[in-house]
Amino acid sequence: MKSLDPIDKQMTAEMTCKCSRCKFSLNYTTPSLSLLCACEDCRQALEWGFEQGGIAPTNLPQLFYIRSDISTIDGLEFMQPFQLRDNAKSTRVYCTKCFSILGVDHPGYRDNVFMFFKGFCCTNFDLSIKPSAVIYLKDCLRGKNYTIPDNIEKIWSFTSEERIRFYSIPEVSNSLTDVTTPAKGMTFREIIQKLPEIKVLNLAPN
Ligand SMILES: [Zn+2]
Ligand SMILES: [Zn+2]
């Protein structure tokens, strides 16, 4: 299995929220996967953050997945994990002051990577990796404008057939996989466990 990019000693990869109260330093400097996502959950999570004073949502957010290996944390007291609904799988950590989304955990990330949204937190590292696929096209809303790049894998939903097609993308299978090299620092999932209890928003699906 291809290993993810190792530590670049020249640079500290940092993620911060917009108000700079929350900061992670990462032990890896390059995301291993990017996707575009049309799903209802991403849309609702971004809209909800915007309603709380966060950044305005985009129709087709770009997601990045980076090794879940965090060396330093600032502003833990301003971080709060949220889920959209009782049966939710994704846990999103927001800054409670600026409502940036710092990161997202999902069982499918296997604690190997965590996800963040381009433009909904600030980063100082290379985000030039191209999206490998656009996912959950079934959730696209009529009347909204979606700019979908040519020559990109299009995943309508996650039926078993489409799931196989999705996991056949090397960047996907190399990222959404079990940990092979243990994190030197804390994983994003371990940070969530240190935070106050997850708040469930109970938003109705729309
Ligand atoms: Zn903030
Ligand atoms: Zn999504």
Residue with tokens 């993810």: 4
Residue 1 has pLDDT above 50, yes or no: no
CA of 60 to the centre of ligand 2 (A): 9
Task: Give me the domain span that covers residue 64.
Answer: 13-200
Give yes or no for residue 176 having a pLDDT over 60: yes
Span from the CA of 103 to the centroid of ligand 1 (angstroms): 13
Q: Radius of gyration over alpha carbons of the chain, in Å?
A: 16
pLDDT tens digits, one per residue of 49-87: 999 999 999 999 999 999 999 999 999 999 999 999 999
Cα 120 to ligand 1 centroid, rounded to whole Å:
11
182 burial (CB, 10 Å; 0-12 / 13-18 / 19+) is: exposed
Residue 92 lies in a domain: yes
In a domain, residue 4? The reply is no
With pLDDT > 70 as the criterion, what percentage of the chain qualifies?
Answer: 95
CATH number at residue 177: 2.170.150.70
**74 to 3, 33, 175: CA distances (angstroms):** 28, 25, 26
Distance 178 CA to ligand 2 centre (A): 21
Across the chain, mean pLDDT equals 94
8 domain-assigned: no
Total number of domains in the chain: 1
Question: Which ligand number lies closest to the CA of residue 45?
Answer: 2
Q: How far is the CA of 105 from the centre of ligand 2 (A)?
A: 12
**How far apart are alpha carbons 13 and 36 in whole angstroms?**
22
- 118 lies in a domain? yes
Q: How many CB atoms lie within 10 A of CB 90?
A: 19
Tell me if 6 is assigned to some domain: no
Position 206 confidence tier, pLDDT thresholds 50, 70, 90: confident
User: With 60 as the cut, is the pLDDT of residue 9 above it?
Assistant: no
